[in-house]
Every structure is written in C-alpha cells, then in structure tokens.
Amino acid sequence: MVTALWVALGAAVGAPTRYLVDRAVQARLDTAFPWGTFLVNVVGCLVLGLVAGSGTASAAVVALVGTGFCGALTTYSTYGWEAMMLAERRAGWTAAAYVLGSIAAGLGAAALGWTLVN
C-alpha cells in the first residue's frame, strides 16, 4: 500500500511537469516536430537510467522517481500519436526522424544515466 502512495506522489509531479514542459517548448519553437514530447521522454530515460543504475536506490525511491515520476513524465501514447499525425500530414521524413531519433536518444540517455552512476 505504501509503495502505491509513492508511485502516486511521483506521478502527481511527473504528469503536470510533462504538460508544462511540452507546452513551454512547443510555444517557443512553434514547429511541426514535437520537441516537447521528445524532450520529456529523453529526460525521463536519463532519470530512470540514473535511478536504475545506482543499485543503491531504495524501493521507495524507485517507486517515487522511477515508476511514478518517470512513468508520468514520459509518454509513449503521445509519442505514437504524434508520429502518426506527422505521417498523416505527409511529413514522412519528419515522422521517421521523430521515431528513430526518440528511440536512439532515449536509449542513449538511459545508458548515459546508468553509466554516470556506475
């Protein structure tokens, strides 16, 4: 029961953070490329890599930061929807760059986080 509360608390911070960062980035860049979602997903991968790679994080920290915060900060559904919308708008190269760039940057950020704490 306590673990679920840690997850909920982390999610309560992660979800509004995702929304606010996404809106702020998109307002500044005003581009078809979804930089806001890209940024929160990569940052979430980095933070999760740091937490998972530490090996010393308590179960509460993993629940709060890893599952709760990172789970709510990152957004696979929005990523998928934005990629589909780019493709539907006949921005195929942009959609491909978004999909491949998100995968590469996310994996790279997670690996960097893991490496930094090991």
The predicted pLDDT at position 47 comes to 98
- Given a cut of 90, whether residue 70 has pLDDT beyond it is yes
- As a whole number of angstroms, the longest Cα–Cα distance in the chain is 47
* pLDDT recorded at residue 30: 85
- What would the pLDDT profile of 12-67 be if each residue is shown by its tens digit? 999 999 999 999 999 999 898 999 999 999 999 999 999 999 999 999 999 999 99
Average the pLDDT over 84-95 and give the result: 96
Residue 107: CA count within 13 A, CB half-sphere: 5
* Token pair belonging to 16: 């509004």
32-66 core/surface letters (b: 16 or more CB in 10 A; e: else)? ebbbbbbbbbbbbbbbbbbbbbbeebeeeebbbbb
Residues 6 or more apart in contact with residue 68 via CB below 8 angstroms: 6, 7, 8, 9, 10, 11, 12, 13, 14
- C-alpha closest to that of 117 among 66, 74, 53: 53
pLDDT for 1 equals 86
Q: Which residue has the higher pLDDT, 50 or 1?
A: 50
As a whole-number percent, the residues of the chain with pLDDT over 70 amount to 100
- pLDDT number for residue 113: 98
Which residues, 6+ apart, have CB-to-CB distance to 22 below 8 Å?
Answer: 36, 37, 39, 40
Task: Round the average pLDDT of the chain to a whole number and report it.
Answer: 96
pLDDT at 56: 94
Q: Say what the pLDDT of residue 29 is.
A: 94
